[in-house]
Amino acid sequence: MGFFVTSLIFLVVGIIACLFTRICCNRGPSTNIFHLTLVITATICCWMMWAIVYLAQMKPLIVPILNEGE
C-alpha cells in the first residue's frame, strides 16, 4: 500500500507543480512548454529514484556477512 500511496503523492505534487509553473511563469507558449517539460521530467526522475530505492529494500541483492571476530 505504501508504494501506491506515495506514487499518488508524487502524481499530485507533479500536477500542482505544473499548475504553479503555468500560473507563475507565464512568458510565452514555447517557454511554458519548456518549463512544463522540466517540471514533468524532474517529477518523474524523483519518483523513479524513490521507487528504485523503495523496491531495492524489499529484496536486497547483497546480504551482510558477519565475521566471527566482530
Q: How many CB atoms within 10 Å of residue 39? A: 20
Three-class secondary structure of residue 64 per DSSP: coil
Q: Are 55 and 25 in contact (CB under 8 A)?
A: no
Q: Where are the alpha helices (DSSP H) in 1-70?
A: 2-24, 29-56
Supply the pLDDT for residue 70: 56
**pLDDT tens for each residue of 14-65:** 999 999 999 998 888 888 899 999 999 999 999 999 999 999 888 777 777 7
Supply the pLDDT for residue 69: 65
- Cell numbers 529484496 label which residue? 59
